[in-house]
Amino acid sequence: MAQANVNIRMDAELKNNLDQLCNELGMTISTAVTIFAKVMVRRGGIPFDVRIDVPNKETLEAFQEIEEMKKNPSAYKRYNNVRDMMKELLE
């Protein structure tokens, strides 16, 4: 199959952000654009959302708390069942 070059103009910051995201996804910008073009042609429109799910601040803090609990489990209260936990929380 013959190759063709396509030039795309975009803001430098957007290009750098796109390049970083593509690297995280294990591809180049060229590969991402090719995927986009093939799927768009096949489906007749913009059909997909390719992204990395980034946890929000609250989720990241919960992950950090879990790691702390693993390091020092005796510093945290444990419950044998949900009923006991809820009883204490609601008192």
How far apart are alpha carbons 11 and 16 in whole angstroms?
Answer: 9
* pLDDT values of the chain reduced to their tens digit, one per residue, 91 residues: 899 999 999 999 999 999 999 999 999 999 999 999 999 999 999 888 878 888 999 999 999 999 999 999 888 888 999 999 999 999 8
Residue 28 is predicted with a pLDDT of: 97
Domain ranges for the chain: 1-52, 57-90
Contacts 24+ apart (CB under 8 A), 21-28: 21/51, 21/52, 24/52, 25/50, 25/52
Can you give the pLDDT at residue 50?
A: 77
Which of 33, 39, 27, 25 lies closest to 6, judged by CA? 33
Identify the burial level of 87 via C-beta atoms within 10 angstroms of its C-beta, where 0-12 means exposed, 13-18 middle and 19 or more buried.
exposed
Q: What is the pTM of this model?
A: 0.54
Provide the pLDDT for residue 49: 80
Tokens 């949900």 locate to 82
What length does the chain have? Answer: 91
pLDDT for residue 7: 95
